[in-house]
Amino acid sequence: MRKVFVLFALCFFVSGFSMSYDISVTLNPKKKTIHGRETIKWRNNFETPTDIIPLHLYMNAFSNNKTVFMAESGGKHRSFKLKEDKIDNFGYCKVKSVKVNGENYTNNFKYIRQIKNPERLKLFKPDEITEIRVKPDNTIGVIFLKNPAEKGKEITIEIQFETKFPKIFARTGYWKTFFMAGQWFPKIAVFEGENGWNCHLFHLNSEFFADFSDYRVSITAPKDYVIGATGVKVEEKTNGNFKTHTFEAKNVIDFAWTAWDKWQVAEDKWHNVPLMLLYPPGLKHTVKRQFKALKSALDSYARLTKHPYPYPHFTLVCPPPKAQGAGGMEYPMLVTGGYTSYKIPERLRFPEMLIIHEFGHNYFYAIFATNEFENAWMDEGINSFATAYGIEKGYGNQIDLPFLQVPPYTMERLGFVMYKGKEAPSKASWEFISNSVYSTLSYGKPTIYLRTLENLIGEEKFREIFDVYYQKFAFTHPTPEDFFSCVKEVAGEKYYNFIKQAITTGSRIDFAIFSAKSQEEQKLFGYDFNFNPIKKEKKKSKDKEKTYINRVVVENRGDFKNLPIKVLVVLKNGEKKTFQWDGSGDWKAFEFKSKSPIEYAFADPDKVYACDQNLANNIKSYTSKTTKTIANYSLGIASLFELVLNTLSLGI
């Protein structure tokens, strides 16, 4: 029944009932500009009327050094920097004219920085700006309607615009004759009825949020340029030295494209879905490797969600090595990967991780169109888990050298366990104390807590959560509670509470072995219980077997209660004993007798709790101090090595 509902919903969205874009642009490679016009059809499907239409103009984040994005980033994104020495390095999106239902509305359009008291429009939250450093900029434009748009009212908006590409350092822009066009056109924000418009300023850490739409986009460029884009190419026309490429995409939340006169093209297929790879000269040797990673991603996400990739085409873009600022970014039906070097050993699977992660956003961002401004963990965190899942299913290890094997979840774990603060992933992107904390809590913490949930309930039931999530919320804007409710439906109240606490609080899990001791059992001496003196034995028999009384205390030092934990006790003679604790209370003692003393005790030997804050305290030995020192030293070296690997990896 649910699958029938999903098919019905998909047909509804594909119809373009609520919104559509028809865009035509011409690329001028010398001036690094596009001149375009777009016709947007938008319908109010809510009871609440609106008298404004806000537009995202993301490219204006790169117009000067005092925009919100530039003030927060200092002109840096990941490891790339915008050089401010040339005006040509900056970019913009300029609205030149506006019509609404055929009437000239150019004078009714204002950039938000031109509006007196813009806070009254409630297009951004008060804490998005500061008194001095961060002020409203031109990344939001507003069309003031002469008459409110009531429920069912359809509006046709015609906009002429000019976009100047910045020198690439943050996702979009140009390098020489290469262009990556992301967030390049005026785009309507998301209307939420009585909650108003969800339209934020463009922050360093915030990404994007948009409604599902149908797109028809025509791109005119010099005829020797190769174009890759969201959607399916439906037409190609040559006019002298120029060629117009027309693409159509149904039921997507965005549209991106790339143009370059040096693109190399490779094609493949996954089941019935055509695949295209655009790559720079010199990287032909990576084609098979990149397609393998892409197909592995398609396989693993279909496995995890129990639903195959639903769109009719997919394009993978591998940017030029000197334009890596464009790499590692997601758009519907098109993503950018990246090779930072021409020679990366195949067993160092960082390019694979990047391709799988960015493809995965076509589920967690494009199909599940969550609010990336306010709930980044819902796309980045869930998708980071799914990335590790894809590496594990497709390759086994993230690093797979003869002398070193590193599982994919290890790469996500270390950043979080090193974080000592109390912030939660459920914050808006601009509310985190720092960029690194945003990354740790939006990517790392959800990954390892979802891995823990999978371990607790089993892979099949875990996949069922995503099946239900897809059936209920694909091609919608799911909220955090929507996802939590799917966990509850499949796994029950206990695990609903677990994952909700993990995401909405600064809670941690930390199980520890407090003590592990063995004591040789002694005969009774002194007075017996009838108050008679006990005679001592004259001699001890050397051949008499010893008996030991053992006591192991496991402690819950974390914030989660009532989670089950297994304790493994290994004796010196190799014998093993296991105990179970339901997690109630702060600690639990296990006592038993044996013919051999304890060698060590291990809390969570099966590594169910991938999110355990401190693995070093999970094991305790009852041996010589030298052995303890060696064990602790080994754990320390392992943690240090994880840190080095995590630092070298691409945290996209």
pLDDT at 3: 40
pLDDT digits (tens, 9 = 90+) for 32-71: 999 999 999 999 999 999 999 999 999 999 999 999 999 9
Among 30, 13, 25, 575, which Cα is nearest to 256's? 25
pLDDT at 5: 36
How many CB atoms sit inside 10 A of residue 651's CB?
16
Alpha carbon of residue 408 to chain centroid: 15
Positive or negative CA dihedral for 42, 46, 48, 54?
negative
Residues of the chain with pLDDT under 70: 1-17, 538-543, 623-652
Domains for the chain: give ranges and CATH numbers. 16-262 (2.60.40.1730), 269-362 (1.10.390.10), 363-507 (1.10.390.10), 511-535+544-608+614-623 (2.60.40)
Hey, what long-range contacts does 347-350 have (CB within 8 A, 24 or more apart)?
A: 347/399, 347/400, 347/401, 348/399, 348/401, 349/391, 349/395, 349/397, 349/398, 349/399, 349/400, 350/398, 350/649, 350/650
Q: Token pair for residue 311?
A: 């769109």
Residue with tokens 């350092």: 169
pLDDT at 557: 95
pLDDT at 625: 47
pLDDT at 78: 87
Task: Compute the C-alpha angle 268/269/270, nearest 5°.
Answer: 140
Side-chain half-sphere of 307: how many Cα atoms within 13 Å? 25
**Helix segments in 222-349, DSSP class H:** 287-305
How many CB atoms sit inside 10 A of residue 245's CB?
21
Reduced to 3 DSSP states, what percent helix, strand and coil does the chain have, rounded to the nearest 5?
30, 30, 35
Angstrom distances, CA of residue 281 to CA of 168, 194, 600 = 19, 52, 57
What is d(CA 308, CA 281) in angstroms, rounded to the nearest whole number? 32
Give the global pTM.
0.91
pLDDT at 539: 64
